[in-house]
Amino acid sequence: MKMTVVGCGYLGATHAACMAELGHEVLGLDSDPDRIALLATGKAPFYERDLDGLLAEHTASGRLKFTTSVEEAAAFADLYFVGVGTPQQPGSGSYDLSQLFGAVRTLAPHLTAPAVIAVKSTVPVGTAPQLAELVRATAPAGDLVEIAWNPEFLRESSAIEDTLRPDRLVLGFDTPGTRAETVLRQAYAPVIASGTPMIVTDWATAELAKGAANSFLAAKISFINAMAEVCEKSGANVSGLADILGHDVRIGRRGMQPGIGFGGGCLPKDLGGFIARAEALGAGEAVGMLREAESVNARRRRRVVDLAREELGTDLRGKRITVWGAAFKAGTDDIRDSPALAVAGALHALGARVTVTDPQALDNARKLHPELDYAEDPAAAVDGADLLLHLTEWPAFAHLDPGPLAARARTPKAVDARGTLDTGRWRAAGWTVRAPGRP
């Protein structure tokens, strides 16, 4: 099939490459000429495992092309996946839908024949009817342009796997059984044929799916992090507790790793957006526990700052702190709402001299936090440190030998906020290690 992917950021670029991998002819559309130029050479404008390989393969074969021209995109196909960004509005939990409505407003006047617009971007429930109204009013083909809702659940660092072999496929339609459903079933035929569970539903349920899923995941992380607080007061070990709870299949261990709390471009935004929309709909009471999940999450970052002050004294001026990690999690160069950088920034504001290292995210971190110091090599970053903070769980950090590192630090003190260092080994090598939620 031929199809256009509108918006070539994280979601769109991955989706475009994966649709080409499934055998389709794909045209990616984005208004950013630099991004399009880079993608056209087979390179992603961000780090995602295996994505460069897929882009290179399919741009070379000619199955995947990129453009900034809406006219070209509209002439190319009659199936449009929309994966533009829906960021959080500054100062509120609500979504900024300007890119989504802008993209559809630009595209609609070119739609002169029956078409399907399948929206993948995350939105507040109630957006689909508004988009449908916009299309009806501005597309020459009017009612022949159908809107479908097709939320995306990909995780950064496993985005390709999550797209090609998703846990489930969700398709939302105003009216089931129309041409839009036939077209999307055809587009996803290989995914469906491999046994992926598929849920065909209405617009509102499909719109809610992503926000609800991410709110649950966020609440699950905050639950175990709240348990970490109780563990700290009682001398228990939150890792052992998570293992015990996780063996109950109704609970499950995955997505319940205690630590510094969640960050990134999705979980915090979708949790805030879900709460804001529920409140606007008069369902504020229903999301009380989600507000609590936000509070627990904010406390995790503060706890690491507090631990640093417990170790170094309340006056941090002149103290040298090394931070292992800038990305919001391992496997990505994404620093959006990164807990590691939030803690690094807070400690710098308290007067500490903070040196940050990360295998992928240093370029992005330098741009956002020019006030911090940076080091490429995690071992060299420890030179002269009064305190080492392990804030992003890159395996490369956990694999380093703590013995030689102890000699490089001024004082061998560490805080393992991710809980993935072998603390026994570190202590045996002379380090004092604090780990939130663990004795």
- Measured from the CB atom, the residue of 35 and 210 that comes closer to ligand UDX is 210
Q: Can you tell me the distance from the alpha carbon of 101 to that of 207, in angstroms, rounded to the nearest whole number? A: 15
Question: Using the rule CB under 6 A, is 95 a contact of ligand UDX?
Answer: no
Q: Which of residues 154-173 bind ligand UDX (CB under 6 A)?
A: 154-156
3-state secondary structure 255-282: CCCCCCCCCCCCHHHHHHHHHHHHHHCC
Tell me, by CB under 6 A, how many residues bind ligand UDX.
Answer: 18
Residue given tokens 């931070």 in the structure block: 323
Q: Can you tell me the distance from the alpha carbon of 10 to that of 259, in angstroms, rounded to the nearest whole number? A: 25
Residue given tokens 């001398």 in the structure block: 235
Question: Using the rule CB under 6 A, is 324 a contact of ligand UDX?
Answer: no
Choose the catalytic residue: 8, 18, 231, 266. 266
Neighbours of 355 (CB within 10 A): 22
Question: Using the rule CB under 6 A, is 217 a contact of ligand UDX?
Answer: yes
Where does this chain touch ligand UDX (CB under 6 A) — which range of 123-131, 134-142, 174-182, 214-222? 214-222
* SS3 state of residue 134: helix
* Among 127, 214, 215, 357, interactor with ligand UDX by CB under 6 A: 214
Residue given tokens 């080994």 in the structure block: 425
- Measured from the CB atom, the residue of 217 and 421 that comes closer to ligand UDX is 217
Question: Using the rule CB under 6 A, is 263 a contact of ligand UDX?
Answer: yes
* Among 132, 160, 221, 406, interactor with ligand UDX by CB under 6 A: 221
- Measured from the CB atom, the residue of 82 and 154 that comes closer to ligand UDX is 154
Min. distance of Cβ 387 from ligand UDX in angstroms?
A: 21
Question: Using the rule CB under 6 A, is 12 a contact of ligand UDX?
Answer: no
* Among 80, 203, 274, 328, interactor with ligand UDX by CB under 6 A: 328
272-278 long-range Cβ contacts below 8 angstroms, 24+ apart = 272/88, 272/93, 273/88, 273/93, 273/94, 273/95, 273/122, 273/124, 273/211, 274/211, 274/212, 274/214, 274/215, 275/93, 275/215, 276/92, 276/93, 276/94, 276/124, 277/94, 277/124, 277/125, 277/126, 277/211
Question: Using the rule CB under 6 A, is 274 a contact of ligand UDX?
Answer: no
Query: Which of 99, 75, 104, 102 is closest to 88 using CA atoms?
Result: 99
Question: Using the rule CB under 6 A, is 272 a contact of ligand UDX?
Answer: no
Which two three-digit tokens encode residue 114?
Answer: 């029956």
Question: Using the rule CB under 6 A, is 297 a contact of ligand UDX?
Answer: no
Which two three-digit tokens encode residue 324?
Answer: 């292992």
Question: Using the rule CB under 6 A, is 397 a contact of ligand UDX?
Answer: no
Residue 231 annotated among the catalytic residues of the structure: no
* Among 67, 99, 257, 364, interactor with ligand UDX by CB under 6 A: 257
Question: Using the rule CB under 6 A, is 223 a contact of ligand UDX?
Answer: no
Question: Using the rule CB under 6 A, is 206 a contact of ligand UDX?
Answer: no
Residue numbers of the site for ligand UDX (CB under 6 A)? 153-156, 214, 217, 221, 255-257, 259, 262-264, 266-267, 328-329
Active site residues: 266
